[in-house]
Amino acid sequence: MTLDDFCVENDVAVYRLEPKEQYDAAIIGVAMDLEAPKAVYDWDLLVQIMVDRDGVTYEEAGEWFDYNLPPDLVVTLKRLT
C-alpha cells in the first residue's frame, strides 16, 4: 500500500516532505500525531537521496535537514536504531 492509498483509505492528509516524488522512497511508516499524521522516514535513505540528487556530501545533507526541518518533524526523522 502506498502512502497515497493510506490517505485515501483513511480520509487523512499526512504531513510529508516535498518533493514527495523523491522523498517518498524513504518513508518507512506513519506516526499518528494529535494534530495530523506525519510520515516517518529512514534517515540514512533520506540523506542519501539528497546526496545523489544534489551532489553534496552525506554530512552536508544531514546538516541541511537538521537546520531546515521543523523541530516537531525532526524527531520522527532521526535514526530508529
Is the pLDDT at 78 greater than 70? The verdict is: no
Average model confidence (pLDDT) for the chain? 82
Give pLDDT tens digits for 28-53.
Answer: 888 887 777 888 888 889 899 999 99
Distances (CA, A) of 37 to 17, 22, 52, 54: 13, 20, 28, 28
Q: Measure the CA–CA gap between 49 and 58, rounded to whole angstroms.
A: 10
Band of pLDDT at residue 77, cut at 50, 70 and 90: low
